[in-house]
Amino acid sequence: MRGTRKHFPHRWAHGPFLACWLSICTASTVFSCPTSCTCNARSLEVDCSGRGLTSVPPDIPQDTRILLLLNNRLGFLPGGSFSNLSSLHRLDLSNNFLDQLPSQLFGDTGNLTEVRLRNNSIRSLDRDFFQGLHLLRRLDLSLNGLSQLPAGLFDELLGLHWLSLRSNRLQNLDRMTFEPLSSLENIQLGDNPWECDCKLRDFKHWMEWFSYRGGKIDELQCTLPKELRGRDIRMVPMEMFSYCSQLEDENSSGPADRPVPPCTKDSPAPSEPEPSPDCPQKQRYRPASVRRAIGTVIIAGVVCGVVCIMMVVAAAYGCIYASLMAKYHRELKKRQPLMGDTEGEQEEQRQISSVA
C-alpha cells in the first residue's frame, strides 16, 4: 500500500507535462505553416513577405490572425483569395504590383481591423470594395494612382480611426464621401495635385469641421490655380470662393432664362483681332489673389491718407490766410482817418503857396 501511495504522486506529476506536450502537438498540427512563409503559432502570424510571390499561398491556416504579404510580386488577386480566413485581423499587401482589385476581395473577412495597400498601382476602387469591414480601424492607401474616390466607398467604415491617402493623383474630393467616418481621428492627404477651385470648396468646409472637433490632418497644398500654388487650402479664406456661388447660379438657371447669343458655333469668326460687340467673350471667373487684395487695400489706404493730409493742410492754410486778411483790413481801417488829415494839410499848403 505504501508503495502504491508513493507511486501515484509520481504518475500524476507527469500529467501537466503530458498535457502541455499534447497541446503543442495539436497546435502544430492545426496551425500548419506554408512552405514559402514563416509562422508564429503563439501570435497566429503568417509572414510571407519578400518571397517573390505572384499569388497568395493556398495553404494558409484558417486561424491566421496576421498575414504579411508585403514586398512581393502580386499583380492580381482573384475574388475569394482570403475567403477561408475569417479570423484575420491584420492584412498587409504593401509594395506589390496590385492594380485591379475585385469588389468582393474582403467578402468573408469581417474581423479585419487593419488593411495596408501602400505602394501599389491601384487606380480605382469599386464602391463596395470595403463592404462588410465594420471593425476596420486603420486603412493605408498611400502611394497609389487613385485619381478619385467613388461616393459611398467609406459608408460602412464607421470605426475607422486612421486613413492615409498620401501620394496619389487626387485633385478634388467630395465631402459626402467622408461624412460617414464619424470615428476618424487622423487623415493624411499630402502630396496630391490638389486643384483648389469650386469642386474642393465643400471638402474645405469638412476639413474645417474635422479640425474643429480635434481631428488631425496633414498639410494639403494647392497645385492650381497658379495664384494659390503651394498654399495650404485651410489657410485660404472662404472669400476666395465667393465666385463659386455666381457660377452655381448661372449653371442652375435653365436655358429659357439665359439670353440666346446672336452668333452660333457655325458662324464665321470675325477677322478683326478685337472681339465683336455682337459676340462678347465670356470672362472666366477667377479667384482673386489674397496678396494682390491686401496690396490693393494698403495702396488705397495710403492714397486716402495722403489726400486727407492734403485736405487738412489746405484747410489750415485757408484759415491762416483768412485770419491774416482780416487783421490787415482792421489795420487798414484804423489808418484811414490819419491818411485823410495828411491830405488836407497838403491841400492847404498848396493853396497858401498859390496865393503867395
Q: In terms of pLDDT, which residue wins out, 22 or 163?
A: 163
Q: Is the pLDDT of residue 267 over 50?
A: no
The reply to whether 331 falls in a domain is no
The reply to whether 101 falls in a domain is yes
pLDDT score recorded for residue 179 = 93
**How many C-beta neighbours within 10 Å does residue 175 have?**
15
Q: Mind listing the pLDDT tens digit for each residue in 301-331?
A: 888 889 989 999 998 888 898 888 888 888 7
**How many C-beta neighbours within 10 Å does residue 64 have?**
23
The reply to whether 92 falls in a domain is yes
Q: Mind listing the pLDDT tens digit for each residue in 7-19?
A: 444 444 455 554 4
Against a cut of 0.95, is the pTM above it?
A: no
How far apart (Å, rounded) are the C-alpha atoms in residues 95 and 2?
Answer: 69
CATH of the domain at 97: 3.80.10.10
The reply to whether 339 falls in a domain is no
DSSP summary character for residue 54: S
Tally of structural domains, the chain = 1
What is the helix, strand, coil percentage profile of the chain, to 5?
40, 10, 55
How far apart (Å, rounded) are the C-alpha atoms in residues 252 and 246?
Answer: 10
| Range scoring the smallest mean pLDDT among 3-17, 23-37, 83-97, 230-244 | 3-17
Whole domain around residue 169: which residue ranges?
26-192
Q: Mind listing the pLDDT tens digit for each residue in 161-219?
A: 999 999 999 999 999 999 999 999 999 999 999 998 888 888 988 998 999 999 999 98
> pLDDT class for 269, splitting at 50, 70, 90?
very low
Q: Is the pLDDT of residue 6 over 50?
A: no
pLDDT score recorded for residue 92 = 98
The reply to whether 290 falls in a domain is no
| Range scoring the smallest mean pLDDT among 105-114, 225-234, 250-259, 341-350 | 250-259
Mean pLDDT value across the chain: 79
The reply to whether 153 falls in a domain is yes
Maximum mean pLDDT: which of 17-21, 162-166, 221-225, 235-239: 162-166
Joined together, the cell numbers standing for residue 277 give 460687340
Q: Is the pLDDT of residue 70 over 50?
A: yes
Long-range pairs, 52-61, Cβ under 8 A, ≥24: 56/81, 56/82, 59/32, 59/34, 60/34, 60/84, 60/85, 61/30, 61/31, 61/32, 61/33
The reply to whether 108 falls in a domain is yes
The reply to whether 168 falls in a domain is yes
pLDDT score recorded for residue 281 = 52
